[in-house]
Amino acid sequence: MRIPISKKMSMIDSSGIRKVFNLAAKMDNPVNLSIGQPDFDIPEEVKESAVKAIINGRNKYTLTQGIEELNRKLLRYYQDLYPQHKPESIMITSGVSGGILLAFMAMIDPGDEILIPDPYFVMYKHLINLLGGVPVTYNLYPDFRITEKAIKPGITKKTKMIIINSPNNPTGMVHSREEIKLVHDIAREHDLFIVSDEIYDTYVYNNGFTSILEFTDQAMVLKGFSKNFSATGWRVGFALAPDRIIQEMIKLQQYTFVCAPAPFQYAILENLDYDFRKIREEYAVKRDTIYNALKEKFKVAKPEGAFYMFPEAPDKKASLFTEKAIKNNLLIIPGNVFSEQDTNFRISFAAPLETLRKGGEILNSLV
């Protein structure tokens, strides 16, 4: 019998990150600097809120757009920054990944060109391809900063939107206020919509964080709770955007995710004011540990946010260097998973300090 695989599936490949995860499962106690999720457990009071929600019967479908109390509280929480938004401008998504999918489905038509940063989060390129759009990269190398020179050459009559990701996965860089303002000005000049992925905004170590919504309400921000609460399996995020787009995304969510998991929405509601300062300070120490270990032998930008680092591989041959690292029981991810180039490799410093020290020793020994 013929197996009916859609032609669209040829437009995407399995995530290179998942390939490394699968490899890790087969290795004997590897030094793992590949996993992009926090290495601490969910805080006890947050767990207790989820348990309470389950015991109290909060286990059925919620409204597609999420429970009303959480949406209202999120709007109040961000009122100073985004005062122009209203209840119809927000929805709870099944993780930020779910929000990205719904947003792209709601806005991208076949042939639309979408500007994405390079390096980029793996999902952007493949989902755009799946929907018949055309991903067009703007180059952030070598210092991973946004410039007019990088963005403007990629704009054509078919360009529909621009994606920004700050703090960035995989580089760990946080775009400055000037960079975000530049994106806003270019988008306004060329009538482009902006989608800003801000999932890592809890983890900003040095300077302040700037959201695109400080400059305009005609943009979309995607945020979530997976990374800050170390609850990546809970799948709770939210989208804030012009209500016309949000209403289309709600329509799509009815036929896809239905709603985000109910008990975890209630757990987030109870803990929206959780103080992450101690966790952030611990991750700053982890960042400094691996950065100081590598800075003498590797060309590497010091991350300003998230928990990733993107060093340049020896001879700019990241795939070969990654293979060499894996043979030495160290898991890292080659840069071509996140980029049109294969010059760098991604490290996650969401790991115990001892693991980071071992990883640094192995990497330095391979240079």
For 267-301, how does the pLDDT look when each residue is reduced to its tens digit (9 = 90+)?
999 999 899 999 999 999 999 999 999 999 999 99
Whether residues 286 and 260 fall in one domain? no
The conformation of residue 2, written as its DSSP 8-state character, comes to -
What is the residue type of 119? P
DSSP string over 134-169: EEEEEE-TTTT---HHHHGGG--TTEEEEEEESS-T
CATH code of 243's domain: 3.40.640.10
| H-helix or E-strand spanning residue 308 | strand 308-309
Whether residues 306 and 345 fall in one domain? yes
The total of other beta-carbon atoms located within 10 Å of residue 146's CB is 22
Which residues, 6 or more positions from 337, have their beta carbon under 8 angstroms from its beta carbon? 15, 16, 17, 122, 346
**Cβ contact 52:264 at 8 Å:** no
| 310 pLDDT higher than 70 | yes
**Cβ contact 306:203 at 8 Å:** yes
Whether residues 75 and 94 fall in one domain? yes
**Cβ contact 271:229 at 8 Å:** yes
Mark residue 196 as left, alpha or beta (left: phi above 0; alpha: psi -120 to 50; beta: remaining): beta
Q: How many domains does the chain have?
A: 2
236, 241, 247, 252 alpha-carbon torsion, rounded to 10°: -50
Whether residues 320 and 350 fall in one domain? yes
**pTM, entire model:** 0.92
Structural domain boundaries enclosing 142 = 58-270
Tens of pLDDT along 196-254?
999 999 999 987 899 998 898 889 999 999 999 999 999 999 999 999 999 999 999 99
Whether residues 29 and 143 fall in one domain? no
